[in-house]
Amino acid sequence: MSAASQDAHHAHDEHHDDHDGAHGSLKDYVIGFVLAVILTAIPFWLVMGNVLPTAQMTAVAVMGLAVIQVLVHMIYFLHMNSRSEGGWTLLALMFTLILVVITLSGSLWVMHNLNTHMMPATAHDMQQMP
């Protein structure tokens, strides 16, 4: 084997070893899966069981659990942390958090405006109409 091919083979082995280090163990995947199932079941229970006293509290709780679930997926399934890939995954995490905040606040704003401007008229309003 030539020196160039040995260097290429050695570089491939190093890359392969780094690649394996980025993957989680079966235990990590099981923990991530169990957390994802729990973080899906709790909001379902909150909404279907009408557990919290107001709809606003339920909405805030569901959105909070959604943010936690995004973080669980990023940590356990996408393997994002501050050590991997020279900190680029931490930058991706911050970008994702910014997008989540923008998406959640924008969704709340749109839903509030739709609720305010497009709700059907009440019986009292219908009596006032000509």
- Long-range residue pairs from 57-66, CB within 8 A, at least 24 positions apart, any chain: 59/108, 63/104, 65/39, 66/39, 66/104
Determine, yes or no, domain membership for 8. no
Determine, yes or no, domain membership for 130. no
pLDDT given at position 9: 53
Going from the C-alpha of 41 to that of each of 1, 59, 75, 85, the distances in angstroms are: 57, 15, 20, 33
Determine, yes or no, domain membership for 16. no
Q: Residue 61 sits in which domain range?
A: 23-116
pLDDT cut 70: percent of the chain above it: 72
Considering the chain, what is the average pLDDT of its residues? 81
Determine, yes or no, domain membership for 122. no
The predicted-structure confidence for 18-64, as pLDDT tens digits, reads as follows 444 556 789 999 999 999 999 999 999 999 999 999 999 999 999 99
Going from the C-alpha of 93 to that of each of 37, 84, 118, the distances in angstroms are: 22, 12, 37
72, 53 contact by CB (below 8 A): no
Six-digit token string for 113: 């405006």
pLDDT given at position 117: 86
Determine, yes or no, domain membership for 3. no
Determine, yes or no, domain membership for 27. yes
pTM: 0.56
Determine, yes or no, domain membership for 107. yes
The predicted-structure confidence for 41-51, as pLDDT tens digits, reads as follows 999 999 999 99
Q: What total of structural domains would you count in the chain?
A: 1
76, 35 contact by CB (below 8 A): yes
